[in-house]
Amino acid sequence: MKRRSGIILTLCLGLLLAAPFWGAPSKAANAQAYSGEIMDSLCAKNGSHEQMMNEMKSMGRDKKTCTQRCVQQLGAKYVLYDASTHTTYALDNQDEAEAFAGQTVHVMGTLEKNKIKVGSIEPAGGQTQEGSYGGHEVSGDRR
């Protein structure tokens, strides 16, 4: 009898310890891929930088400069804008997004109330992150 109750107790403890692994899937398992342009929240409302660049010449004449200046000077936030669906996603990691300002990217992350918890950001096909390569400046937009 003591042996049977010992086995039952061991099984119950084992089940209790394993229970957390049977719950909801981990956040990593829920990660999805999102594509679009790293844009500022002000220009994303219009789906383009054109209006901002035309109205405020100090915003520059390219997507990267406009995005960075809207964030730095006007208090906008970096967002992911999907032009195909006209959807704007807030991004939880503004520092990582900053490096890809104005670029078309793929973001891996989990969506929580229209905000992506960023796992990673990678340039979309054929683009490289802007920076120095072998002493030469390389552009983030290779068209």
In the prediction, which pLDDT does 58 show?
Answer: 87
Per-residue confidence (pLDDT) for residue 51, from 0 to 100: 92
Looking at residue 21, its pLDDT comes to 56
Summarize pLDDT for 65-94 with one digit per residue, the tens: 999 999 999 999 999 999 999 999 999 999
- Best CA proximity match to 108, nearest among 26, 25, 35, 24: 35
pLDDT value of position 107: 97
For residue 69, give every residue at least 6 positions away whose Cβ sits within 8 Å of its Cβ, in sequence order, or none: 58, 59, 60
Query: Could you tell me the sign of the dihedral formed by the alpha carbons of 129, 135, 137, 142, in that order?
Result: negative
* pLDDT on residue 119: 97
pTM: 0.69
pLDDT (0 to 100) of residue 131: 40
